[in-house]
Chains A and B, each alone.
Chain A
Amino acid sequence: MSLADSTNLSATPPKRRRRLNNRVLRRLMRNKAAVASMVVIFLLVVVAVFGDLLAPHDPNKVTLSLRLMGPSGDHLLGTDELGRDVLSRLIVATRVDLLASAQAVGIALSVGVPLGIVAGYLGGFTDAVLSRVIDALMTLPPLILAVVVVAILGPGLRNAMFAIAILIVPSFYRIVRASTQGARNELYIESARASGCGTWRILWRHILPAVAPPLLVQASFSASVVIVAEASLSFLGLGARVPQATWGLMLNDASSNLTTSAYLIYPPTVMVAITILAFSLLGDGLRDALGRQTTDGK
């Protein structure tokens, strides 16, 4: 450590605190697709939050005299079979879809992560039992499981998201378990034990930060999977119910008028496509940016 070094550093101590995050952020910012995705996701969130204010019409107002109209000055994206404004419904549906997606990913995270960490850290019998249960979960056919869950809990978006959460738990469990197994044998974990850290502290403060990067990537990918799944389930009538507006439900409505007004299929499809693309590309970007951050300088 040279004198020049230390004087240099003491001049800028506040900035150093976030240096690790900055490094990741800088790499992320260099990835154009990831930046575009973040902009799109930010816009989606804004639309979701202020949807009620942004919608030009009441999304649920039925005006039968204005059925199946093409785009016009008053109805920018036209109207559906009940004369409801498509743009307004699309806007309001954004909140429903994002919340549903967050709900499913949230549930899957809160189940998959603790189980994965415990299985990976303890190993042995606990790991064997948990892993077999998760394996069993993976053998379930997704659509059948969704139908069963909805049949038991009743139809509705919440229950459909619950079914999807169950389906994506294994992906989180496996990623966390594998990363934990890798981190468990690191010397700094033994060092933490030698300093008297308890298991809880080791898992929470030393292991979890180590497994967070791949987890973040997986969560981003899962968000896009959930959006598609929501659309599918709602399309099949297993998810959201009328008059609630979701992209999947709008597709469902549009499909029944496919022969007369094929145009109606496009707005929700484009929204779904944009959203899953944004989450997937962000996942890609995160994976690249988080890559080998901690091995630098080794």
Chain B
Amino acid sequence: MTTTNPTLSVRGLTKVYGRRATLLRRHPHQLKAVDGVDLDIAPGKTLGLVGESGAGKSTVGRLVLRLIEPDAGTINLLDTDISTMSRGDLRRMRSHATMIFQDPYTSLDPRMLIKDSVAEPLIVHTDDNRATRHKKALEMVRRVGLDTAHMERFPYEMSGGQLQRVAIARALITDPSFIVCDEPVAALDVSTQAQVINLLNDLQAERGISYLFISHDLRLVRLIADEVAVMRAGKLLETGSAERVFAAPETDYTRELLAAIPGRSPRHRRFNGETAASVELDEAEREEAVVV
């Protein structure tokens, strides 16, 4: 057990979509998108949240930042209960905890120059003047591997990988302690994926940020996550250290997910206790070596 408090601690998080019963509608048709989820993320660590489409992963990501309002549960972020926070406090909180989205082509305002997009959080959260903001934005843009020339561009003039770097720069400019990464590389091609993942890893090592890394791609999760949580139909199936979950999954569903990782021969897809699991790990390690 660690002595430091977790960066994020969530208990009983629940979100229900659909319509409640009313006078005219006797039977409510409701869907529990997120059903009693508990999560803990330690400082400087990454929790990989995995599961199939529609499992409620992205909803969890938005709920923990209260971009969507939860129906039940408590959210403790950086030792503060944010589940009852006022709108104003919530806005100020967003300099410490923010989000990177799946599609970098649409997550940046198409009418804003890159430098303005990157510097915008500074306008909201600091009293920096224009020159200081510009200087910080440039530093950040350089840190994520872009240069001065990119500052004067519009999003449509850049590639997906570059745009996701911009989104990362924008998220990091207020020096947050926690970032939700919602499928941050799913829209990118494979070679770019590895670069962005490495960048996220480097930034974490450098600044001690915690990530909630949402992905359906277990290979990526393996590259970045310290802990893994598996979700299905709104519920958390299992949580554990990444090595443990990948080596000895507790549930059949996790085993299925692991088996569905592409690029493996049919022979390996059959799961037969420990031998198969160790083969899995070896292969994944080889893959990792290639990608990194």
Give chain A residues whose Cβ lies under 8 Å from the Cβ of B157: 297
Give chain A residues whose Cβ lies under 8 Å from the Cβ of B67: 190, 193-194
Give chain A residues whose Cβ lies under 8 Å from the Cβ of B154: 19-20
B156 adjacent to A298 (CB under 8 Å):
yes
A191 adjacent to B92 (CB under 8 Å):
no
Chain A residues 5-34 with CB under 8 Å of chain B are 5-6, 9-10, 13, 16-17, 19-20
Among A155-163, A196-204, A270-278, the one that faces the other chain is A196-204
Smallest distance from the beta carbon of B94 to chain A beta carbons, Å?
Answer: 3
A186 at interface by CB-CB < 8 Å = yes
Q: Most B CB atoms within 10 A — which of A193, A209, A296, A298?
A: A193
Give chain B residues whose Cβ lies under 8 Å from the Cβ of A5: 149
Give chain B residues whose Cβ lies under 8 Å from the Cβ of A205: 109, 112, 120
A260 at interface by CB-CB < 8 Å = no
A17 adjacent to B113 (CB under 8 Å):
yes
B111 adjacent to A210 (CB under 8 Å):
yes
A188 at interface by CB-CB < 8 Å = yes
Give chain A residues whose Cβ lies under 8 Å from the Cβ of B162: 1
B149 adjacent to A294 (CB under 8 Å):
no
A19 CA / B153 CA spacing, docked (Å): 9
Interface of A is mostly: helix
A-B contacts, 15 of them at CB < 8 A, read A1-B159, A6-B149, A9-B149, A9-B152, A19-B154, A187-B106, A188-B107, A194-B67, A194-B98, A195-B120, A196-B98, A210-B111, A294-B156, A296-B156, A298-B105
B170 at interface by CB-CB < 8 Å = yes
Give chain B residues whose Cβ lies under 8 Å from the Cβ of A210: 111
A10 adjacent to B156 (CB under 8 Å):
no
Smallest distance from the beta carbon of A291 to chain B beta carbons, Å?
Answer: 14
Smallest distance from the beta carbon of A296 to chain B beta carbons, Å?
Answer: 5
A220 CA / B167 CA spacing, docked (Å): 37
Give chain B residues whose Cβ lies under 8 Å from the Cβ of A16: 152-153
A195 adjacent to B98 (CB under 8 Å):
yes
- Tell me the nearest residue of chain B to A23, going by C-beta: B154
| Cβ-neighbour of A192 out of B95, B103, B105, B120 (below 8 A) | B120
Query: Residues 102-132 of chain B: 1 if any A CB is under 8 Å from the residue's CB, otherwise 0?
Result: 0101111111110000001101110000000
| Cβ-neighbour of B99 out of A20, A188, A194, A209 (below 8 A) | A194
B152 adjacent to A17 (CB under 8 Å):
yes
B147 at interface by CB-CB < 8 Å = yes
Give chain A residues whose Cβ lies under 8 Å from the Cβ of B65: 194
B153 adjacent to A201 (CB under 8 Å):
no
A196 adjacent to B95 (CB under 8 Å):
yes
| Cβ-neighbour of B107 out of A20, A191, A297 (below 8 A) | A191
Chain B residues 155-174 with CB under 8 Å of chain A are 156-157, 159, 162, 167, 170-171, 174
Smallest distance from the beta carbon of A15 to chain B beta carbons, Å?
Answer: 9
A287 at interface by CB-CB < 8 Å = no
- Tell me the nearest residue of chain B to A8, going by C-beta: B149
B146 at interface by CB-CB < 8 Å = yes
- Which 7 A-B residue pairings sit nearest by Cβ, starting from the closest? A196-B94, A297-B156, A9-B149, A194-B99, A16-B152, A187-B106, A294-B110
Give chain B residues whose Cβ lies under 8 Å from the Cβ of A190: 67, 101, 107
A75 at interface by CB-CB < 8 Å = no
B270 at interface by CB-CB < 8 Å = no
B111 adjacent to A13 (CB under 8 Å):
no
Smallest distance from the beta carbon of A16 to chain B beta carbons, Å?
Answer: 4
A254 CA / B101 CA spacing, docked (Å): 66
Give chain B residues whose Cβ lies under 8 Å from the Cβ of A209: 109, 111
A67 at interface by CB-CB < 8 Å = no
Query: Residues 32-46 of chain A: 1 if any B CB is under 8 Å from the residue's CB, otherwise 0?
Result: 000000000000000
- Tell me the nearest residue of chain A to B171, going by C-beta: A195
| Cβ-neighbour of B148 out of A10, A193, A298 (below 8 A) | A10
A57 at interface by CB-CB < 8 Å = no
Give chain A residues whose Cβ lies under 8 Å from the Cβ of B120: 192, 195, 197, 205
A188 adjacent to B108 (CB under 8 Å):
yes
Smallest distance from the beta carbon of B187 to chain A beta carbons, Å?
Answer: 11
Chain A residues 273-298 with CB under 8 Å of chain B are 294-298
| Cβ-neighbour of B106 out of A20, A188, A196 (below 8 A) | A188
Query: Residues 206-233 of chain A: 1 if any B CB is under 8 Å from the residue's CB, otherwise 0?
Result: 1001100000000000000000000000
Give chain B residues whose Cβ lies under 8 Å from the Cβ of A188: 106-110
Query: Residues 73-110 of chain B: 1 if any A CB is under 8 Å from the residue's CB, otherwise 0?
Result: 00000000000000000011111001101010111111
Give chain B residues whose Cβ lies under 8 Å from the Cβ of A195: 94, 98, 120-121, 124, 170-171
Smallest distance from the beta carbon of A75 to chain B beta carbons, Å?
Answer: 52
A191 CA / B167 CA spacing, docked (Å): 9
A13 adjacent to B149 (CB under 8 Å):
yes
B150 at interface by CB-CB < 8 Å = yes
A206 CA / B174 CA spacing, docked (Å): 20
